[in-house]
Structure 1
């Protein structure tokens, strides 16, 4: 406990799922947290209150990552709430289940804007502020095993996550001289709000999907939290441009 004491983090998409799991773990380790939610204010308030129970500063804003002014709004809101932030977790994402031949330009643009364009420019703005202050920092991009594995009706999502994984490598290379590290976490099959129709409404099917994972089950949001704490902490100070698969062993299959 206390591995992140004194640090301040932004977690996008932090009111539910993987984002909430990471935000909670950060707060438990002593990190102040500013997070975003798309529209679920009740969930955001509940998450904020839970984080504050750990004795840290915590606040949020409702933010649509597809809005043209989303990045400056995020950075200004986080700075106003916490001051200079030294950890950025790009977690907010969207997906479409359209087959490749049916995917429309509007669907494609939405997925690429939220999953790749927004984290790209959020990372840029975050790094610029750190460089101006002469301060180090850590960016953690939440990608997916889908970045390297094709599955049906997810081509747009897969392209966006492959781009996000490469963003980590490109940014890591260019930002290393400023002490700003950029790494990726690639989750496997994990229970989130976006796939709740599977694990909540059809638990038998969900377990069936997970039975072939070497460790025997699908993931939970808290399974990703330890990797994020590690990448935000000084324990990973000589790691940048890396990609951590947190997937119950799927990457080995």
Structure 2
């Protein structure tokens, strides 16, 4: 405990799933947390109460990552709530299942706006503020194994995650002189709100999918939290541009 004492983090998409698990783990380690939620205010209030229970400052804002001016609103709100953040977790994402030949420009644009454009400019704004303050920091991008492994009916999502993984490498290279590190966590098959129709409503299918994972089961949101804490902490001080696969061994196949 205490590995993030004195740190201040932004976690996008922090009210549910992987984002909530990361925000909770950060608070448990002494980090003040400001997080976003799309529209689930009850879940956001519950998350905030849980985080504050660890004795840290915590607050949230409802934010559509695709909305005009979303990045500036987030950075201003976070600074007002917890002070200048020195950790940014780009976790918020959206996904749909649509075959390549049926994908519309509107659907494509929405996924790219949320999954790639917003993290790109959030990282830019975050780094610019740290550079102006002469302070170091850490960015943790939550990508996916599907950034490098094709799955049917998700070409737009996979392209967005592949772009996010390259953003990690490009930003890591350019921001290293300022002491700002950028790394990726790539989850494998994990039970989240977006795929609840499988693990909640079709548990037999979920178990069947988990059989192909060497460790024998799909992931849970809390399985991802430790990697994010590590990348946000001084324990990974000589690591930037890297990617940690948290996948039960899928990457080995």
TM-score, normalised to structure 2, is: 1.00
Q: What do the CA deviations read for 1:165-197 (whole angstroms, capped 9, x no partner)?
A: 000000000000000000000000000000011
Q: Residues of 1 paired with 2:106 and 2:190: CA distance?
A: 27
Pairing of 1:206-245 with structure 2 (within 5 A): 206-245=206-245
Q: CA RMSD in A?
A: 0.4
Structure 2: state its 5+ residue gaps. Answer: none
Structure 1: state its 5+ residue gaps. Answer: none
Residues 1:11 and 2:15 aligned together = no
Residues 1:204 and 2:204 aligned together = yes
Q: What do the CA deviations read for 1:201-234 (whole angstroms, capped 9, x no partner)?
A: 1111111111110000000000000000000000
Q: Residues of 2 paired with 1:205 and 1:241: CA distance?
A: 35
Q: 2:54 matched to which residue of 1?
A: 54
Q: 2:107 matched to which residue of 1?
A: 107
Q: Residues of 2 paired with 1:165 and 1:213: CA distance?
A: 22
Q: Residues of 1 paired with 2:234 and 2:69: CA distance?
A: 32
* Segments of 4+ moved more than 4 angstroms: none
Q: Residues of 2 paired with 1:196 and 1:16: CA distance?
A: 12
Instruction: Give, in angstroms, the shift of residue 68 of structure 1.
Output: 1.3
Instruction: Give, in angstroms, the shift of residue 106 of structure 1.
Output: 0.3
Residues 1:189 and 2:192 aligned together = no
Q: Residues of 2 paired with 1:103 and 1:249: CA distance?
A: 31
Q: 2:134 matched to which residue of 1?
A: 134
TM-score, normalised to structure 1, is: 1.00
Q: 1:125 matched to which residue of 2?
A: 125
Q: Residues of 2 paired with 1:146 and 1:212: CA distance?
A: 16
Q: Residues of 2 paired with 1:87 and 1:77: CA distance?
A: 15
Q: Residues of 2 paired with 1:208 and 1:216: CA distance?
A: 10
Q: What do the CA deviations read for 1:131-160 (whole angstroms, capped 9, x no partner)?
A: 000000000000000000001000000000
Aligned partner of residue 27 in structure 1, secondary structure:
helix
Pairing of 1:35-184 with structure 2 (within 5 A): 35-184=35-184
Aligned partner of residue 35 in structure 1, secondary structure:
strand
Q: Residues of 2 paired with 1:53 and 1:2: CA distance?
A: 15
Aligned partner of residue 48 in structure 1, secondary structure:
helix
Q: 1:29 matched to which residue of 2?
A: 29
